[in-house]
């Protein structure tokens, strides 16, 4: 997964032979087989990205169709209980959710997106964004510090290739590489935390860029949860706001990658 992301992140960068003002007179274009191999990898990445976007759209449509099903009644009842508890004890419930979020992402559980949707359905849009932002910040800092001060030697010894590519990406692109990793939902949240702890990036810079990078996804996922909760409480199961939120949820991975590519076009 990280390999595919790294290839897609670097495909717009022009090689040395295409930049003669930097490469010098000795630069020469690569051989044709290598160019064809890179072209095939690029097409494979495009197909995989479209397939993942289509899968998210199908998942959102199925979720909308079964939203009134009996087998989700227990889950909806628990959501209502948590929402009522938040109204009675807002700080306690919010703090408990933040701690659970940090615990989940620290255990390498792929639940960040699901928890963002849950936060929107329980706390609403504004409070849900605040809760997820705090939880993401704390989880990012915790993983970063653990990697830098306690797990650095183990991680480099066990997975030298994975974390070596992250380190090389930061050395090559700086904070933009971290921002792109956070915006495009491809690399797991906890893997980015551990990988960035092995680089020379300062903690303050890492935290600010991480929060900015996760903000677009947080807004989309929390809004989807808030609209799902509003549709449950209303007499109309499929409202225009819910349909729009589900469409945004499905199109976000593709839009995020397009946005990163557009920003990269001004850098290279």
**Which tens digits make up the pLDDT trace of 60-107?**
555 555 444 444 445 556 778 888 888 889 999 999 999 999 988 877
The yes-or-no verdict on residue 55 having pLDDT over 80 is: no
The yes-or-no verdict on residue 25 having pLDDT over 50 is: no
pLDDT confidence tier of residue 216, bands split at 50, 70 and 90: very high
| Helical ranges in 66-89 per DSSP H | 73-88
Locate 162 and state its tokens.
């994975």
pLDDT confidence tier of residue 17, bands split at 50, 70 and 90: very low
CA distances from 262 to 88, 145, 192, 246, 257 (A): 45, 32, 22, 24, 9
**Of all helices (H) and strands (E), which one includes residue 161?**
helix 160-173
Mean pLDDT for 179-183 is 91
Mean pLDDT for 122-141 is 94
The yes-or-no verdict on residue 5 having pLDDT over 60 is: no
Separation of alpha carbons 99 and 111, rounded Å: 14
Predicted local distance difference test score (pLDDT) of residue 32? 52
Between 181 and 106, the higher pLDDT residue:
181
Predicted local distance difference test score (pLDDT) of residue 219? 94
Separation of alpha carbons 227 and 233, rounded Å: 10
């Amino acid at each position: 997964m990280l390999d595919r992301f790294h290839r897609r992140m670097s495909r717009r960068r022009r090689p040395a032979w295409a930049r003669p003002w930097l490469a010098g007179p000795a630069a020469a274009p690569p051989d044709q087989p290598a160019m064809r191999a890179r072209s095939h990898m690029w097409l494979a990445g495009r197909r995989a990205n479209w397939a993942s976007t289509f899968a998210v759209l199908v998942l959102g449509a199925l979720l909308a169709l079964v939203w009134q099903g009996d087998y989700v009644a227990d889950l909806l009842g628990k959501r209502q209980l948590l929402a009522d508890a938040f109204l009675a004890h807002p700080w306690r419930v919010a703090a408990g959710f933040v701690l659970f979020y940090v615990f989940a992402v620290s255990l390498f559980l792929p639940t960040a997106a699901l928890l963002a949707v849950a936060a929107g359905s329980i706390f609403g849009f504004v409070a849900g964004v605040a809760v997820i932002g705090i939880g993401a910040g704390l989880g990012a800092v915790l993983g970063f510090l653990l990697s830098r001060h306690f797990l650095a030697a183990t991680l480099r010894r066990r997975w030298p290739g994975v974390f070596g590519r992250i380190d090389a990406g930061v050395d090559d692109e700086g904070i933009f590489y971290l921002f792109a990793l956070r915006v495009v939902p491809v690399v797991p949240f906890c893997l980015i935390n551990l990988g960035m702890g092995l680089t020379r990036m300062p903690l303050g810079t890492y935290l600010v860029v991480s929060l900015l990078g996760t903000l677009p996804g947080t807004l989309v996922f929390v809004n989807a949860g808030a609209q799902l909760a509003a549709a449950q409480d209303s007499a109309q199961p499929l409202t225009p706001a819910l349909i729009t939120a589900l469409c945004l949820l499905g199109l976000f991975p593709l839009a995020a990658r397009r946005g990163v590519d557009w920003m990269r076009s001004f850098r290279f």
